């Protein structure tokens, strides 16, 4: 008889079907209006042959090959939990004593899994913090540049994290929605902490039915769903700032800027205006000027500008736009355009980032806290901006400039990662691996033989969410979901919390780590804290036992529409922004004061080193977009049927325009070699006129599978992307600034190896 267990994941809530100790199927959560396909891959992942069955230590590490040793080719020696626990307590203690707390890199960036108690990264950081401290990471890969910029210019990160002006407000008041990077459907499949209700598609359909006109400004037509019937403007990648400047010039030329808004709710218009007009640098940013950079016709730029000035307009850009060199600029300039249109804080008008970047952006929601593990401190620690991780490994003792601060980079001796995949998320992987290998000891907690596990010294097998009890919760979702344990742990896998509790015990701080609670006590504690906080805000949640039995709590929708910056727009004196001036900063004295050459006091067009208008395009004439995968979440679920069905001869698909394919003698379905000076990967070609000429696009997430000479056989775009910060202000990930060339792959197709566990030595350590 099958058992049914309520559960949740970043890609959706579901009921697991369990038969004879195996997860044999999933059924979407009954209250989800638009469940995605990704949950179908869950049973494949849980029972995959690349689950790590027990703890392992790299053979070379046991022989003393540590700092600078090659990682990735060695065999692994099976080891008992007892032994590995003792080794780790000793090794961490030794490294702390000899090199200080900051020599342990424990930032451990990554999405982990949905459950909020067994959240691997939080558990590890709690453990390392209580152990004395560690080097951690701030901001994120998603919108790190924006996250550093926006507090300076609008005083908050709500503009890209939410709450943003919601869909009901847009349906009622907006007439035109200009979308840089579109409103991709694929991205709205996921929410960190669990998507109980995928409300994105139903809301978009309502907005479209209300008569809003959509414009998809993107190199990729597929960035808006067909049902929006959007106008497609195939812009050159990384040139959005020039396009917005061209629109700004057209609005000024027509005298249509909102002078009252600019005068009463902004500072710095007196500096930005002469730049747009060319009075400061001799270059008026006319639509003709912008057309030469963006390859969008000047008439189109002018038409869009005048239309936006004539009807209630919502401006948006995806998060991807700022994951590029100078990624701060297009977002800053879009805020400036919204200010010129006077729409900031008006219903259905203004600007916000990421309406199409994640499920839940714009969904009406009651601002309640989410269920979470209480944060811990990092007493002796230091923090670097997340995307500078390779520099951290490469430049010990040197200075990294970030947002007006000078950070001295510590000397990393130990890397300890749980719940993230740096060989998925970071850029220029061949370079990162060289830095990674400088550590003496690398520890990875993982359920699967992902690239970090394969490139570790000590590998600890973690359970998946189906093997433990937890609570799924996200501030962007109306459902709190019980996640019932469905099956016993697979092999010798253990919960991250339990393995760390034992290492804490061997290090003398078990009780401080566990607070003497077991799983059940922690879940009740976290739930009750949340329930009390909700009660204070007027929402009465059921008690834990009722929640656990029913499988979910539903938080009602708010009664009123939400408008971001509404109070500020109505009364800027009574409700100033949290910026130095209290207003929107079109010019920031703070940023200008940092003296960074690459980012000044107001938004500007700055040509990136790698884009189609630059010199490097002579050698590498294709711009590579590496977007989020429709078939999985980052590297997660790459073992599942949904990702497998999309691959071409086992390789990640890459989109290319028919003219580019013809010029290279390539056909749909071919395996091709994609390369630049940083590396090479194999991709499966998909020929499509939905991508503009000069651009190719490949999703992230195919597990890195390097052959000896560095060729990745699987289609991981991060062997090609450049590892540089967006600027010294944001130091964000710049993955979208990347030029490549593509050619036929004529050798025999090398078989994949990441689909099998690595070699294992049978000398079991007692």
Minimum CB separation of residue 369 from Mo ion in Å reads 22
Burial 13-50 (b: 16+ CB within 10 A, else e): bbbbbbeeeebebbebbeebebbbbbbbbbbbbbbbeb
699's CB contacts (< 8 A; 6+ apart) are 626, 627, 628, 629, 630, 631, 652, 653, 717
Closer CB to ligand MGD, 346 or 463, in the complex: 463
Query: Minimal CA–CA distance to 96: which of 125, 71, 129?
Result: 129
In the bound complex, what is the minimum distance in angstroms from residue 142's beta carbon to Mo ion? 3
The answer to whether 58 contacts ligand MGD (rule: CB under 6 A) is no
Q: Kindly state the tokens that stand for 684.
A: 């499966």
Name the segment binding Mo ion (CB under 5 A); options: 64-72, 134-142, 386-394, 407-415: 134-142
The phi and psi torsions of 15 (rounded to 5 degrees) equal: -110, 125
Q: What token pair was written down for 446?
A: 């993982």
Q: What would the x/- binding string for ligand MGD be over residues 83 to 122, using CB under 6 A?
A: --------------------------xxxxx----x-x--
Residue of the chain from 187, 329, 378, 485 that contacts ligand MGD (CB under 6 A): 187
Query: Given the complex with Mo ion, which of 339 and 733 has the nearer CB atom?
Result: 733
Cβ atoms within 10 Å, residue 198? 25
Residues between 308 and 337 with contacts to ligand MGD, criterion CB under 6 A: 318-321, 323-324
Q: Is beta strand 695-698 parallel, antiparallel or unpaired with respect to 622-625?
A: parallel
Binding string to Mo ion for residues 259 to 288, with x set by CB under 5 A, is what?
Answer: ------------------------------
Q: CB 581 → ligand MGD: shortest distance, Å? A: 30
Binding mask 360-399 for ligand MGD (x = CB under 6 A): ----------------------------------------
Q: By CB under 6 A, name the one of 129, 193, 196, 629 that touches ligand MGD.
A: 629
Tokens of 82: 């007892």
3-state DSSP assignment of residue 460:
strand
Q: Does 144 bind ligand MGD (CB under 6 A)?
A: no
Tell me whether residue 315 or residue 577 sits nearer to ligand MGD (CB atom): 315
CB 119 within 8 A of CB 438: no
| Binding at 218: pick from ligand MGD, Mo ion, none (beta carbon under 5-8 Å per type) | ligand MGD
Minimal distance, residue 377 CB to ligand MGD, in Å: 22
The DSSP symbol for 583 reads S
Nearer to ligand MGD, 462 or 564 (CB): 462
Q: Degrees (nearest 5) of the Cα angle 350, 351, 355?
A: 130
220 makes contact with ligand MGD (CB under 6 A): yes
Residue 145 binds ligand MGD (CB under 6 A): no
> Which of 237, 207, 390 has its CA nearest to residue 312?
207
The CA distance from 95 to 105, in Å, is 11
Q: Which is nearer to Mo ion, 258 or 328 (CB)?
A: 328
Return the one option of Mo ion, ligand MGD, none that residue 732 interacts with (CB less than 5 to 8 A, by type): none
Q: Active-site residue among 34, 111, 141, 530?
A: 111
Q: How far is CA 579 from CA 326, 603, 739, in A?
A: 22, 17, 37
In eight-state DSSP terms, residue 443 is: E
Is 215 within 8 Å of 231 (Cβ atoms)?
Answer: yes
Q: Answer yes or no whether residue 142 interacts with Mo ion by CB under 5 A.
A: yes
Total residues interacting with ligand MGD, rule: CB under 6 A: 63
| x-marked contacts with Mo ion along 645-674 as a string, rule CB under 5 A | ------------------------------
Say how many C-beta atoms besides its own lie within 10 A of residue 70's C-beta.
12
CA dihedral 410, 412, 418, 420 (to 10 degrees): 70
Which candidate in 11, 34, 109, 141 is catalytic?
109
> Angle at CA 217, nearest 5°, toward 211 and 218?
130
Binding mask 454-483 for ligand MGD (x = CB under 6 A): --------x---------------------
3-state DSSP helix/strand/coil % of the chain, to nearest 5 = 35, 20, 50
Q: Which stretch binds Mo ion (CB under 5 A): 139-147, 431-439, 728-736, 739-747?
A: 139-147
Task: Restricting to residues 161-180, name those near ligand MGD by CB under 6 A.
Answer: 180
Q: Which residue has the tokens 């006129």?
A: 689
Q: Maximum Cα–Cα distance for the chain, whole Å?
A: 80
As given in the structure block, the two tokens for residue 348 are 């259905």
- Minimal distance, residue 654 CB to ligand MGD, in Å: 13
316 burial (CB, 10 Å; 0-12 / 13-18 / 19+) is buried
* Active-site residue flag, 111: yes
Which residues, in sequence order, are bridge partners of residue 625?
697
Per CB under 6 A, contacts with ligand MGD among 404-423 are 418-421
Please give the angle made by the CA atoms of 401, 405 and 411, to the nearest 5 degrees.
60
Cβ proximity to Mo ion: between 142 and 322 the closer is 142
**Residue 692 binding ligand MGD, by CB under 6 A:** no
Question: Cβ of residue 636: shortest distance to Mo ion, in angstroms?
Answer: 12
In this chain, which of 29, 127, 141, 200 binds ligand MGD, going by CB under 6 A?
A: 141
**Residue 223 in contact with ligand MGD, rule: CB under 6 A:** yes
3 DSSP β-pair partners: 18
Q: Of Mo ion, ligand MGD, none, which one does residue 717 interact with (CB within 5 to 8 Å by kind)?
A: ligand MGD
With contact defined as beta carbons under 8 Å apart, do 23 and 47 qualify? yes
Q: List residues near ligand MGD by CB under 6 A.
A: 109-113, 118, 120, 141-142, 180-181, 184, 186-187, 189-190, 217-220, 223, 235, 237-238, 240, 318-321, 323-324, 357-358, 418-421, 424-425, 445-448, 450, 462, 496, 625-630, 633-636, 700, 717-718, 721, 733, 735-736
Q: List residues near Mo ion by CB under 5 A.
A: 142
């Amino acid at each position: 008889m099958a058992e049914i267990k309520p559960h949740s994941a970043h890609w959706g809530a579901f009921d697991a079907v369990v038969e004879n100790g195996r997860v044999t199927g999933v059924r979407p959560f009954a209250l989800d209006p638009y469940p995605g396909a990704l949950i179908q891959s869950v049973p494949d992942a849980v029972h995959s042959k690349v689950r790590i069955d027990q703890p392992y230590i790299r053979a070379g590490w046991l022989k003393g090959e540590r700092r600078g040793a090659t990682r990735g080719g060695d065999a692994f020696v099976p080891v008992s939990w007892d032994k590995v626990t003792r080794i780790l307590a000793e090794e961490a203690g030794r490294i702390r004593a000899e090199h200080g707390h900051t020599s342990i890199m424990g930032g451990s960036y990554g999405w982990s899994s949905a459950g909020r108690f067994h959240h691997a990264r939080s558990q590890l950081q709690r453990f390392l913090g209580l152990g004395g401290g560690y080097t951690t990471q701030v901001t994120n890969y998603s919108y790190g540049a924006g996250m550093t910029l926006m507090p300076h210019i609008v005083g908050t990160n709500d503009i890209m994290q939410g709450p943003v002006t919601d869909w009901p407000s847009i349906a009622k008041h907006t007439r035109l929605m200009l979308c840089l990077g579109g409103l991709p459907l694929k991205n709205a499949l996921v929410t960190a902490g669990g998507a109980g209700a995928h409300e994105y598609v139903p809301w978009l359909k309502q907005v479209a039915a209300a008569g809003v006109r959509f414009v998809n400004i993107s190199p990729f037509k597929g960035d808006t769903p067909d049902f929006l019937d959007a106008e497609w403007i195939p812009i050159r990648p990384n040139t959005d700032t020039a396009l917005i400047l061209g629109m700004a010039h057209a609005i000024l030329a027509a005298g249509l800027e909102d002078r009252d808004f600019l005068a009463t709710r902004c500072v710095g218009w007196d500096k930005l205006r002469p730049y747009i007009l060319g009075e400061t640098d001799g270059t008026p940013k006319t639509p003709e000027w912008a057309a030469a950079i963006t390859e969008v016709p000047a008439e189109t730029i002018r038409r869009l500008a005048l239309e936006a000035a004539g009807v209630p307009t919502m401006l948006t850009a995806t998060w991807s736009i700022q994951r590029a060199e100078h990624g701060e600029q297009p977002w800053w300039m879009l805020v400036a355009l919204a200010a010129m249109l006077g729409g900031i804080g008006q219903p259905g008008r203004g600007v916000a980032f990421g309406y199409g970047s994640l499920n839940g952006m714009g969904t009406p929601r009651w601002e309640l806290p989410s269920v979470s593990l209480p944060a811990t401190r990092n007493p002796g620690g230091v923090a670097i901006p997340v995307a500078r991780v390779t520099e951290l490994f490469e430049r010990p003792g040197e200075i990294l400039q970030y947002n007006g601060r000078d950070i001295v980079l510590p000397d990393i001796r130990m890397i300890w990662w749980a719940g993230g995949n740096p060989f998925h998320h970071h850029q220029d992987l061949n370079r990162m691996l060289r830095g990674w290998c400088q550590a003496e000891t690398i520890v990875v907690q993982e359920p699967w033989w992902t690239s970090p596990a394969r490139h570790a010294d000590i590998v600890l097998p973690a359970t998946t969410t189906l093997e433990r009890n937890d609570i799924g919760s996200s501030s962007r979702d109306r459902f709190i979901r019980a996640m019932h344990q469905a099956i016993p742990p697979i092999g010798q896998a253990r919960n991250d919390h339990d393995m760390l509790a034992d290492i804490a015990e061997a290090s003398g701080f078990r009780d401080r780590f566990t607070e003497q609670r077991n799983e059940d006590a922690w879940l009740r504690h976290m739930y009750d804290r949340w329930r009390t906080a909700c009660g204070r805000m007027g929402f009465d949640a059921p008690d834990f036992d009722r929640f656990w039995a029913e499988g979910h709590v539903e938080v009602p929708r708010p009664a009123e529409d939400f408008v971001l910056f509404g109070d500020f727009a109505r009364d800027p004196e009574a409700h100033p922004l949290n910026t130095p001036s209290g207003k929107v900063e079109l010019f920031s004295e703070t940023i200008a004061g940092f003296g960074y050459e690459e980012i000044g006091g107001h938004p500007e067009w700055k040509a990136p080193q790698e884009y189609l208008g630059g010199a490097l395009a002579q050698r590498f004439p294709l711009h590579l977009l590496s977007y989020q995968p429709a078939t999985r979440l980052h590297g997660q679920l790459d073992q599942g049927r949904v990702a497998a069905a999309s691959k071409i001869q086992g390789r990640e698909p890459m989109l290319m325009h028919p003219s580019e394919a013809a010029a290279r003698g390539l056909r749909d379905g071919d395996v091709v070699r994609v390369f630049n000076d940083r590396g090479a990967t194999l991709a499966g070609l998909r020929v499509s006129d939905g991508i503009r000429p000069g651009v190719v696009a490949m999703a992230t997430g195919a597990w890195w599978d390097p052959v000896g000479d560095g060729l990745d056989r699987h289609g991981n775009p991060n062997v090609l992307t450049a590892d540089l910060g967006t600027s010294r202000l944001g130091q964000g990930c710049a993955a979208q600034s990347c030029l490549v060339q593509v050619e036929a792959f004529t050798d025999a197709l090398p078989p994949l190896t990441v689909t099998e566990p690595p070699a294992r030595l049978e000398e079991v350590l007692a």
